[in-house]
Amino acid sequence: MRTLITIFLFSISNLLLSQAIPTEIKKTVGFIYAKDKFGKVKPQGTGFFVSVSDSINGQPRSAFYFVTAKHVLKQNKTFRDTILIRLNTKDSLSEYGRLELHPNGVNKNIFIHADKTVDIAVIPIGPDPTKFDYLTLPSTFLTNKKNFKDLNIREGSDVFFTGMFTPFIGDKRIYPIVRFGRVALLTEEKIPWDNEMTSLYLMETSSYGGNSGSPVFFYLGADRGNGGLFVGNPELKLAGIMKGYFGESSPIKIIETQKIPVSDRNLGIAAVVPSYFLEEILFGTELKNIRGF
């Protein structure tokens, strides 16, 4: 009898964890491009939109931000002058928007963490919602260190991310791919990356060059309760920002015979920058002063 009960509970857990993701999540994503020295537009990575909301004197207020991995905006370790953000439009097409980058000065529009090893960049920007077909992820979806205990997040927890798939980016529209995996390592110690020690999650999944900057989500099902089975809909939380596949940073290259931009290596383990660093940027003094709440 115990064996049958165990199998039954295991089946329920698998059923809950295997539910399809909300398709709206893909609408939070935009693709990032930049011109090379010959003026050719090339894919660089992925970004996604986050909103911060509050109420001032009874009036709702919101601010919108485009988030990506810091290295996606750089060339030779310095920020690019300009990037292109490609989004789907309401008329079933897509469009490039040109964005000048200003890491310093009165026009500053790139905000990063005080810890320089944190690979996150935040840009205050909100495209016209009547023209572009996109959604923002509310900041309430971010996980912090306390969430880990409350949600019972641990190795084996289900995760997924959505972002650019370089072999098929889309011609008329962008088509973010969704890839699935599990948490492989959570540690309080920092992990080496490009000769620096930094705070990362590791997840077991395939990751390619264009995935950098993608939003990574915990998709928590029946196993999220402490000490028992939780019956209910899976809970979706932002785990962090995709840094790339673990062990090596390799730029997107072009396979000349097919003219398809791809990343040529994959080790099966991806690194994710924890979302609590994004929370610290969004609710830091600098951005709070700019938005006024």
CATH code, domain carrying 66: 2.40.10.10
DSSP letter for each residue of 105-132 = STT---B--SSTT---EEEE----TTTB
Contact 214, 242 (CB under 8 A): yes
For 101, the domain range is 25-291
- Decide if 13 is inside a domain: no
Comparing 13-22, 221-230, 280-289, the range with the smallest average pLDDT is: 221-230
Instruction: Work out how many domains the chain is built from and give that number.
Output: 1
- What's the CA gap between 217 and 236, in Å, rounded? 7
pLDDT digits (tens, 9 = 90+) for 28-83: 999 999 998 888 999 999 999 999 999 877 889 999 999 999 999 999 889 999 99
Please give the pLDDT value at position 2: 39
Give residue 200's identity as a one-letter amino acid code. L
- What's the CA gap between 225 and 204, in Å, rounded? 22
pLDDT digits (tens, 9 = 90+) for 159-196: 999 999 988 999 999 999 999 999 999 999 999 888 88
Please give the pLDDT value at position 208: 76
Please give the pLDDT value at position 262: 53
- Decide if 4 is inside a domain: no
- Decide if 207 is inside a domain: yes
- Decide if 128 is inside a domain: yes
> What phi and psi, each to the nearest 5 degrees, are found at residue 261?
-75, 125
- Decide if 19 is inside a domain: no
Q: Indicate the pTM of the whole model.
A: 0.85
Over its C-alpha atoms, the chain yields an Rg (Å, rounded) of 20
- Decide if 78 is inside a domain: yes
pLDDT at 258 over 90: no
